[in-house]
Structure 1
């Protein structure tokens, strides 16, 4: 037994060792548990670990998440399909698709100064993304903006108690229309403009419009105006809507107008300092002149000699589209000394247009109606010419490089922006898929006409049945409907019809329809 005891003391280092030498501490398993939650046997005890077995699935598919997904399942399906289509577009057309106006936008982005033809809002958008030197990124952001427009339409409809399927249906044209997706892939201002307008409508449909909300509406309208000048009348339209909801009280509408007008005045001051001219652009007279050439008859107008040089002896039915009177080298205005958009030429063109409107007002109204009717055809006939029409189709071959000034200068600036070669690379089979999709999926113009006609008809039927007598507040459909109508009429009244000018009106028109069908009213502004 003594030997056994001595052996134990030897194994343990002896009594002295046990009494005087420190015993090694046990490993700190708490520390291991704290810093290594993925150690074997520890994961189940740490509920916060996102990759713990069974926990991630439980977190992602909690009852609340499942209920929300079920509630919005129609919209999530449409949104997901729209995202897939945009990914295919990005893969098939790299990095983006160029339009003749794109080069001017890039020049203004890299050399900030007001442009004579277009306001600089979209160019400033390009300038914000310029440090990344990627037109592919610009196209990606525009596709995300397009998806965001669909989200805004859906949110506005749901907030005003439209059914989920109806709200998803209202967002479907902007999310799934092939021409909308192609427009987002073009380096043009229309997608940004549409997003600003839809956001302003969403704010104006708030149940409580405070002064802060009114300020936000005004800033969005100002940004839209500085992106496309057709947005300028929207300020008066939104002010009228706020007055209507406020029963004539002007405070909220005044705040909105101030927020909308002040940035525009600031841009106008910048334009005046650059060109010593009043306005946002220097082409108003030129574009209105091109519009009147669709009907102007100098035998009826009897212009003075200085204006007679702008006459076209051909009958109106035999004349080219209005845009040819701005860009064609044979146009009377282009043949005048100096650039087309000089102060003198723009003033001369404006005087001619004013005389034509005074002399032939009914012909002007007929011309506007004819241009507006092009928005509502079932097919898409080629207009204004095959070249411009082709830019709105997914191409089978890369578009040719620009061949005339000022686009040639813009191409050089675009190479500086990209820091590399520019152009459009077409990659199959993705590009072919989008061409086939574009042949099949679009919103016909006749369907857009039905969407615009339906809201006032539904409202009229409801009033005729005297149901409106029991309702209070303001009909929510009226604002998006009026905005859509304005966006369609203004280009036809001031320049000419173009297919890309129709698309920004589609989301607000669809929103107006779903709101009119659901009868939502808004409370008066206190």
Structure 2
């Protein structure tokens, strides 16, 4: 039976063998990945050439304006402008940022492939885990944007490697690897606040990985669990605590973000039955006037920036507090309506085609266009492009037309396929068939648990095809792990 080693290990000729032979050996063994990788590189080169220096979305200006200031009171955390933009822009322009982000996307795919092989998947199955990241045009498009999303995906892959890529005899990470995973997750939260939801599946995995939890009366087993789980939580708490301390020094408030009130209000506003709610006069001013079926979450999420709406409140009104209290009242009075709306938005991501449902954030925002897309901020975009790259944005319409055609026809990962990967992983973690003795049940739990958790947490805010990108990273590798487990291809390093 074929044994799977990592890229560049046994079978590719190390030592004194000529370099050409080694390269041919690698390509012969990993030929399918090589083909997919070539396709992924080509797409990214085309995107980089077609939209110079980078695509600037509405949020891009907020990130760029925060460089050197790093004010945590804005809509986004400061990790992207502090850790990515500031270092890269100190040596290059926006074109350098987009180029590095494309390389990061390729790295995610190779990392997923290598992890699949580490977990004893055959090379063709490992390529399946990498293919969506390499070939999905929505990921390529977000890499070309000045946005933090691709770096969240990088953090997810690094977390998976730290927690699942161990060679220990138990198959579970040691405290050092768990601590590093906690550090990475803390950094991920500083990039995208939604990552904080991943604490739950990570802790559950650390408790059950390696089977030590079965001996819950054994002190040594409990010590193992406590050490690795504690190391993860302590390092995560150090990062989050440091961020919270910085947030307090800058805002005088306890927390991590000022955006929580916007999120709470947005989700509540779209379902609020104001005629039946018992609200005080100030909170009643926060009630939407549109019929329930015509309310857009994205509109209410940014309503605090609408001066005309804010002026309807008495002078001096604390708008974030009003939004927060309004959300709490709706949640208490209509919990099933809120939950139902979240579930509906969660399920939208598994539709066959990437189309809009009523009141969704338009999927067109994440489409390649024939020409450079200005998002209704042409003058501002030109000004920022000239500031960082010395010239106005440029495009190559022929390439843009190709990328758009590719994206709208075959260049996306179908939702039912992602759902199938998730179902396979769930079957494996439940111990169906040979999965019970595969030693991969906890690995399936972590990967699918992270995918479902972050997608559901995103749906708690609103549905956007942009928020489905973590699923393209997590669900295929979860499905691959599930297939290996159900297939019964044992990994001898797991008990």
Query: Normalising by the residue count of structure 2, what TM-score does the alignment of the two structures yield?
Result: 0.85
2:452: which partner in 1? 485
1:312: which partner in 2? 288
Structure 1 unaligned blocks of 5 or more: 1-57
Partners in 2 of 1:374 and 1:469 — Cα distance? Answer: 32
Residues 325, 332 of structure 1: 8 Å contact kept: no
Equivalent positions of 1:133-212 (< 5 A) are 133-205=92-164, 206-208=166-168, 209-212=173-176
1:346 aligns with 2:320: yes
Residues 475, 521 of structure 1: 8 Å contact kept: no
2:198: which partner in 1? 234
Residues 268, 280 of structure 1: 8 Å contact kept: yes
1:497 aligns with 2:473: no
1:422 Cα deviation after fit: 4.5
**Deviations for 1:383-425, whole angstroms, at most 9, x for unmatched residues?**
6779853321111233337659xx95x9766654x152443x1
1:39: which partner in 2? none
1:61 aligns with 2:40: no
1:358: which partner in 2? 332
Runs of 4+ in 1 over 6 A off after TM superposition: 329-332, 384-387, 520-526
Partners in 1 of 2:114 and 2:337 — Cα distance? Answer: 43
**Deviations for 1:139-177, whole angstroms, at most 9, x for unmatched residues?**
000000000110111011000100100100111000011
2:40 to 73, 77, 82: 82
1:446 to 416, 428, 438: 416
* Alignment RMSD (CA, Å): 2.9
Residues 449 and 144 of structure 1: is their aligned pair in 2 closer, same or farther, counting only changes over 3 Å? same
1:180 Cα deviation after fit: 1.2
Partners in 2 of 1:401 and 1:484 — Cα distance? Answer: 30
Partners in 1 of 2:344 and 2:466 — Cα distance? Answer: 17
1:474 Cα deviation after fit: 4.6
Residues 354, 363 of structure 2: 8 Å contact kept: no
2:76 to 118, 137, 144: 118
Residues 76 and 121 of structure 1: is their aligned pair in 2 closer, same or farther, counting only changes over 3 Å? same
**Deviations for 1:195-253, whole angstroms, at most 9, x for unmatched residues?**
10111011100243222211210111011111011111212321221111242521111
1:14: which partner in 2? none
Residues 326, 334 of structure 1: 8 Å contact kept: no
1:104 Cα deviation after fit: 0.2
Any idea what SS the aligned residue of 1:475 has?
helix
Residues 383 and 426 of structure 1: is their aligned pair in 2 closer, same or farther, counting only changes over 3 Å? farther
**Deviations for 1:62-85, whole angstroms, at most 9, x for unmatched residues?**
2x4433322211111111111111
Q: Which deviates further from its counterpart, 261-270 or 242-251?
A: 242-251
1:52: which partner in 2? none
1:379 to 346, 353, 365: 353
Equivalent positions of 1:290-439 (< 5 A) are 290-317=266-293, 319-327=294-302, 334-336=310-312, 344-382=318-356, 388-400=362-374, 403=377, 415-416=386-387, 418=388, 420-423=390-393, 425-439=394-408
Residues 106, 414 of structure 1: 8 Å contact kept: no
Partners in 2 of 1:223 and 1:469 — Cα distance? Answer: 35
Partners in 1 of 2:492 and 2:256 — Cα distance? Answer: 36
Partners in 1 of 2:290 and 2:27 — Cα distance? Answer: 62
Report the structure number with the largest CA radius of gyration. 1
Partners in 1 of 2:297 and 2:147 — Cα distance? Answer: 21
**Deviations for 1:70-108, whole angstroms, at most 9, x for unmatched residues?**
221111111111111111111111111111000000111
